[in-house]
Amino acid sequence: MVLDPEVVAVFQSLARITVGDGRKVLFWRDHWINGRSAEQVAPLVFSTVSTRRKNSRSVAEALLENAWLSDIDMDLSIEGCVQCVRLWEEIEAVPRNNQVPDSFFWTGSASGAYSAKDTYRLLCQLLL
């Protein structure tokens, strides 16, 4: 299935993620690094990671002994290496609490929980 990049961007902009134990948040895809994804922080690094890893590696798995580094094709350019260091620094600055589950807040609804109805209503308002 091919997703429209604009729809994905709107969807991601409506979700707020707070990392707890990191089990439900995707390391490479989700916007957990101060509201940004790894792709936004380090696009050259992200481009070397396999789709399988991008779609399956949780934050908890990735941070265990810095396993996320093994996802990267180490044939990076100098700029790619700079981005890798920047990603590492930004990851280290994200507050985490292994004692609580990850939390997801959906800004598209008053309750903070995702609902297709509320999201559809919001998207219609945005498009008008």
Which region among 24-28, 57-61, 101-105, 123-127 has the lowest average model confidence (pLDDT)? 123-127
- As given in the structure block, the two tokens for residue 68 are 């996320």
Q: Is the pLDDT of residue 7 over 80?
A: no
pLDDT digits (tens, 9 = 90+) for 53-67: 999 999 999 999 999
Query: What is the Cα–Cα distance from 69 to 62, expressed in whole angstroms?
Result: 8
pLDDT digits (tens, 9 = 90+) for 8-55: 677 777 778 899 999 999 999 999 999 999 999 999 999 999 999 999
Indicate the pTM of the whole model: 0.79
Q: Is the pLDDT of residue 99 over 80?
A: yes
Q: How many domains does the chain have?
A: 1
- Residue 2: per-residue pLDDT: 61
- Containing structural domain, residue 113: 5-127
Q: Is the pLDDT of residue 79 over 70?
A: yes
